[in-house]
Amino acid sequence: MKNIKLLKWILTLTTIIQSSSSSDIPTPLPAPWPEQFHAVVVMNLSESQQVHVTDLWYDWGKGRNVNIHQKQLAEKEYAVEWNNGTSFYYSLNHNPPYCNITTFEVGITRPDFLQTDAEYSGTQMVEGFLCHVWKKADFIVYYEDVITHRPVRFDFVDGTIYNYVMTFEVGAVLADSEVQAPAFCFNQDTISEI
């Protein structure tokens, strides 16, 4: 008897859920990034079969994004990106040290970059987390934890780079002394435009 009552209750609940229009449920919006954060990210570069552990230091207020890449069994590489579109890519331990300077039309990623033109794809279990999923143009698929609204993973749509967020510290700031590109970066004439 109890099983029949439970079955009727489940069927009634299922009918109510199915009859409610999906338009009644608002599409969730992705949380904007905090203006400052530090994340440890494991990057799987599928084409080159490389793995990096990256310290990502985002600071919107100071207009910079710093990625310190530790390649597997290799030296660290630095990517210092500025909001004016200038980016420095260099290594201090390479023999000889190197630096590439590039300019992009846009600066660093805005905190609200997913607020416009991102297509909501629903929820999905990712690395053990229930995530909201958004796709931004033909560029990125972004996974955000449903409960904490922290990024869990973000992948480039072309399948070349998969990024797994291991830690996420809101408000953490990299010291200014760690951001300055080395002097040898400024002793060159070549700047690439992308």
The reported pLDDT for the residue numbered 96 is 82
Asked if the model's pLDDT at residue 26 lies above 60, the reply is: yes
67 lies in some domain: yes
Q: Residue 60: inside a domain, yes or no?
A: yes
Residue 29 domain-assigned (yes or no): no
Average pLDDT over residues 73-92: 93
Residue 121 in any domain: the answer is no
Could you tell me the two tokens for 23?
Answer: 């338009």
| 82 in a structural domain | yes
With bands split at pLDDT 50, 70 and 90, how would you rate the model's confidence at 20?
A: very low
Q: Which domain holds residue 170?
A: 36-112+159-185
pLDDT band for position 2 (cuts 50, 70, 90): low
**pLDDT value of position 25:** 78
Q: Classify residue 81: in a domain, yes or no.
A: yes
- Is 100 inside any structural domain? yes
Q: Is residue 180 part of a domain?
A: yes
Q: How far is CA 14 from CA 8, 26, 48, 113, in A?
A: 10, 20, 48, 37
Burial call 103-117: b when 16+ CB within 10 Å, e when fewer: eeeebbeebebbeee
pLDDT at 82: 95
The count of domains in the chain is 1
